[in-house]
């Protein structure tokens, strides 16, 4: 499992958040990507928030077209050796702050049943499970669509 995790992180680093592609996606005014670094300047974690029109490119069919004032939380990740230090919490908090500053009222995200710790973290922020569906007949895990409603009473954990 550890090898798969590292492979996934490497794939992410080489895809939309790579140096060559990051500006195309995250430079837009309404998209943002937060990174956390260890004191040794090693990348420790990251999270992104998409508000712009291409926000649906990164999800499977479980996320239908998002409405006005909705955003998609993506690429939440903490490298294994830095986990349990509040890095994901800090990156998600910054994404939520950015969403509120940009008049977003609903944040959605997609996760899997294998990411139990992540789902629990999202729930602590107030995300609720909106939909669960099987990934496909070949893999034994489910896809979770979760959402967070931001209103005047919302406060960060």
d(CA 57, CA 79): 24
Res. 150: pLDDT tops 80: yes
Q: What is the pTM of this model?
A: 0.79
Which token pair is 145? 């669509």
d(CA 151, CA 3): 40
Q: What pairs with residue 133 in β-bridges?
A: 143
Q: Which helix (H) or strand (E) holds 37?
A: strand 32-37
Tens-place pLDDT, residues 38-72: 888 888 888 988 887 654 544 556 666 778 899 99
Domain 29-149 has CATH 3.40.630.30: yes
Domain locations in the chain? 29-149
Tens-place pLDDT, residues 95-136: 999 999 999 999 999 988 888 999 999 999 999 999 988 876
């Amino acid at each position: 499992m550890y090898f798969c995790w590292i492979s996934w992180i490497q794939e992410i680093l080489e895809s939309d958040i790579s140096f060559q592609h990051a500006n195309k996606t995250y430079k837009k005014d309404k998209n943002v990507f937060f990174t956390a670094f260890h004191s040794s300047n090693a990348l420790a974690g990251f999270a992104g928030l998409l508000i712009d029109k291409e926000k649906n490119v990164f999800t499977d069919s479980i996320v239908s077209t998002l409405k006005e004032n909705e955003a998609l939380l993506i690429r939440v990740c903490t490298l294994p050796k830095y986990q349990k230090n509040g890095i994901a919490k800090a990156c998600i908090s910054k994404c939520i702050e950015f969403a509120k500053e940009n008049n977003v009222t609903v944040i959605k995200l997609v996760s899997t049943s294998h990411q139990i710790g992540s789902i629990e973290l999202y729930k602590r922020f107030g995300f609720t499970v909106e939909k669960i569906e099987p990934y496909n007949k070949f893999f034994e895990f489910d896809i979770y669509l979760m959402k967070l409603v931001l209103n005047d009473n919302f406060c960060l954990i």
